A and B are shown apart, each in its own frame.
Chain A
Amino acid sequence: MVIVLSGSVNDYKNIKLSGNIDNDIAIFKSIFSRDAVLRTREVLIGGVTRSFIIFMDGMVNSIGQGETVVEALVETVLPQEEFISCKYIAQNILFANEVNETEKFPDMLRAILYGDTVLIAQDNKTALTINTKGWRTRGIKEPDSERVLQGPREGFDEAAMFNLAMIRRKLLTPDLCIEFMRIGRRSDTPVFICYLGTIVNPNTLKELKRRLKKIDIDGILDSNYIAENIRDHKRSILKTTGATERPDIVAARLLEGRIALVVDGTPVVLTLPYLFSENFQSDEDYYINFIMASLSRILRWFCFFVTISVPGVFVALVTHHFQLLPTHFALTVARLRSGVPIASVVECLALILAFEILKEAGLRMPQNLGHALSVVGGLVVGQAAVEAGIISAPMLIAVSFSAIAGLMVPRLMGAVFYWRIFIVIACAVFGLFGYFVLASVFAIRVFSMNSFGVDYTISFSSPNFQTLKDSFVRTSWRQMKTRPIFNRNRTRKDN
């Protein structure tokens, strides 16, 4: 038989077990001939019938495998019949809690590759896949990127099954649907689609599945591989799929009628549809008093406008519109700028870039080095540059304030950087006129976007007051009677 190899387990779909155990085990060995961690062991079932167990070293729970498979097989007493079927072995001999019989060769390969044990027995044209998964995981830790002061502290890890269990633990309802599929020609990555059956929008679900089926990629190593493939507006700097490492966030999203995509091998779970207002929401908003949460949210909106506007507006004021500055302030700026050899706009762009470099360097550094870097980069170099007259203090203050304000909206960090740059250039060329034109263009763009058929700005473009209650502010749960507008069952509570 000629097998055309594409790297997928499906390449072997035409292979069948012959029942001759020596030939069958030879097939497995030839497929994994260049894999040093494949293990095969011959076991005589009840001391009579030949069988092989096949598994990957390091991916199985060795103790569990020994107790539930090997020990069970060796110590069993067989009936007088000559032929021992796989079904008999599964039902009467093995202690493992999950055993499946299959004749499909790709399923056997998948099982081996995913930490299960495959058992083939003499004269059987089927095999048993036994759940013996036992690889190590990172464990439940609070995600560094989504820390809260109050509320649940658990975060996903890289094992999808454990992640699903964490979601399931939050939503103890049979309405929680989990669909399974595999994506990636070579990685064959398990992907799980989670939603609440009675409130999800079926059109969104259908559209998601259509897009997932269209993905043709070698491997999925992180959920972003999928996000980039299924998102709307592929070239936009704004994200149209949410991402979180927290099971409580996923559960909350599911309760709003959204869909979650759990991808094996990454702690980041995708949620969709994703709205613009979600960029300003924090997990903690729902765990603290709604008045304080609303204040935080308003601050985030304010900081969003500050972070994209301040550098550009400042450049516009000191290069085009002196009349808008109080005389003393204009003179102070002029005085502090005297001797600076570069134009304000270049100075501003250089500072924005420098801050991004510092931020990026700090992110990749070990935590202790990161602190040192921010002190050296931000304070020492900044102050030295001002004293040397290379940059002016007012511009440094404007850009730093803008950068700090940007940290209030971490989900928009990337987009904010580009917007800031474009606005600075527009302000340098056209003054405040350029600012307002570009701000309008951004606003029009944001309002024209959608995520899986749902308006990106539906939470504040709709005249419905209920939708506003979780956008600019977070009102009390008593008042939030409906779910977001995009699902079919909107009633969250009756009174």
Chain B
Amino acid sequence: MAFALCFLLCGCMGYREVNRGYMVTAMGFGAKNDQSTIYIEALSASDMSDKKQERILLTGVGKSNKQAYQNLKSNLVKPLYFEQLGTVVFEKTIKPDFKLLGEITNINPGIYIALTDDANTLFEGQTPSGVLGYDIITLIKTREKETKKHIVNQLYKAQGKTIKLPTVNIFDGNLILKQAEDSK
């Protein structure tokens, strides 16, 4: 009975398997030639043979963020899991748009928001641990510990206000965190 019930109910009520999707760790928003670009850094476990996590960089381009996200998703063979998303990065040239983030369910409300000069370079570049999402969080947390100040506002607390955001760039394989700047 119990087994029959399980087989019948698997897939119901948001049932997913942790190994059957891409674990998103960082997300970036940029713009190029009047086209929105979305960068997603994800880790996948199920494709690996050498028992190490595999970093996957996904890119979607479209007229709007939503369109870019749809295009990105349409090429995927596995769903994206946003529960482990820790960092969202916006290019300085665009206005941070939280609408799309609001539409994605299961996003952790405690994610860090940062700015960058060039999202493409940031995501394509090599970071110290190999996972951009972790490295940005580590960098911000280290700085917070040093300065004993919260230098990043959290997403939902910041909506509708002018907020100061830190700038993260990559230079010679090193992540560099600049002073917090006003976002547009």
Residues of A participating in the B interface, judged by any CB pair closer than 8 Å: 318-323, 325, 327, 330-331, 333-335, 337-340, 343-346, 349, 421, 425, 428-431
A404 CB, min distance to chain B CBs, angstroms: 22
What would 25 A/B residue contacts be, using CB atoms closer than 8 Å? A320-B14, A321-B83, A322-B81, A322-B83, A323-B83, A323-B84, A325-B18, A327-B84, A327-B86, A330-B18, A330-B23, A331-B43, A335-B45, A335-B48, A337-B46, A338-B46, A339-B46, A343-B10, A346-B6, A346-B10, A349-B3, A425-B6, A429-B12, A429-B15, A430-B13
B17 partner residues in chain A, CB cutoff 8 A? 318-319, 337, 343-344
Give 14 new A-B contacts, CB below 8 A, not counting A320-B16, A323-B84, A428-B6. A322-B81, A322-B106, A330-B23, A334-B23, A334-B45, A335-B48, A338-B46, A343-B10, A344-B18, A345-B15, A346-B3, A346-B7, A349-B3, A431-B14
B104 within 8 A of A: no
Query: Which residues in window 79-113 of B have CB below 8 A to A?
Result: 81, 83-84, 86, 106, 108
B47 partner residues in chain A, CB cutoff 8 A? 338
Residues of B participating in the A interface, judged by any CB pair closer than 8 Å: 2-3, 5-7, 9-10, 12-19, 23, 25, 43, 45-48, 51, 53, 81, 83-84, 86, 106, 108, 134
When chains A and B are docked, how far (Å) is the Cα of A349 from the Cα of B2?
A: 8
> For chains A and B in complex, what number of residue pairs have CB atoms within 8 angstroms?
93
A320 CB, min distance to chain B CBs, angstroms: 6
B7 partner residues in chain A, CB cutoff 8 A? 346
B2 partner residues in chain A, CB cutoff 8 A? 349, 421, 425
A321 partner residues in chain B, CB cutoff 8 A? 83
Q: A319-B17, A335-B53, A338-B19 are in contact. Are A330 and B12 (CB under 8 A)?
A: no
When chains A and B are docked, how far (Å) is the Cα of A105 from the Cα of B14?
A: 73
When chains A and B are docked, how far (Å) is the Cα of A244 from the Cα of B5?
A: 37
When chains A and B are docked, how far (Å) is the Cα of A325 from the Cα of B7?
A: 25
Q: A327-B84, A428-B9 are in contact. Are A319 and B45 (CB under 8 A)?
A: no
- The chain B residue sitting closest to A335, CB to CB, is B45
When chains A and B are docked, how far (Å) is the Cα of A307 from the Cα of B43?
A: 32
- The chain A residue sitting closest to B86, CB to CB, is A327
Give the one of A320, A327, A346 with max B CB within 10 A.
A327
A343 partner residues in chain B, CB cutoff 8 A? 6, 10, 15, 17
- The chain B residue sitting closest to A338, CB to CB, is B46
Contact of B53 among A331, A344, A429 (CB under 8 A): A331
A337 partner residues in chain B, CB cutoff 8 A? 17-19, 45-46
A281 CB, min distance to chain B CBs, angstroms: 31
A329 CB, min distance to chain B CBs, angstroms: 10
B36 CB, min distance to chain A CBs, angstroms: 26
Closest 10 CB pairs of A and B: A334-B45, A323-B83, A322-B83, A338-B46, A335-B45, A334-B19, A337-B19, A318-B18, A327-B84, A334-B18
A335 partner residues in chain B, CB cutoff 8 A? 19, 45-46, 48, 51, 53
B18 adjacent to A322 (CB under 8 Å): yes
A340 partner residues in chain B, CB cutoff 8 A? 19
A338 partner residues in chain B, CB cutoff 8 A? 19, 45-48
B46 adjacent to A429 (CB under 8 Å): no
When chains A and B are docked, how far (Å) is the Cα of A339 from the Cα of B3?
A: 21
- The chain B residue sitting closest to A344, CB to CB, is B17
B132 CB, min distance to chain A CBs, angstroms: 13
B24 CB, min distance to chain A CBs, angstroms: 10
A320 partner residues in chain B, CB cutoff 8 A? 14-16
- The chain B residue sitting closest to A319, CB to CB, is B15
- The chain A residue sitting closest to B51, CB to CB, is A335
B84 partner residues in chain A, CB cutoff 8 A? 322-323, 325, 327, 330
B15 partner residues in chain A, CB cutoff 8 A? 319-320, 343, 345, 428-429
B134 partner residues in chain A, CB cutoff 8 A? 327
- The chain A residue sitting closest to B16, CB to CB, is A319
Give the one of B16, B18, B51 with max A CB within 10 A.
B18
When chains A and B are docked, how far (Å) is the Cα of A349 from the Cα of B9?
A: 14
B45 CB, min distance to chain A CBs, angstroms: 4
B13 partner residues in chain A, CB cutoff 8 A? 429-431
- The chain A residue sitting closest to B131, CB to CB, is A327
- The chain B residue sitting closest to A315, CB to CB, is B15
B23 partner residues in chain A, CB cutoff 8 A? 322, 327, 330-331, 334
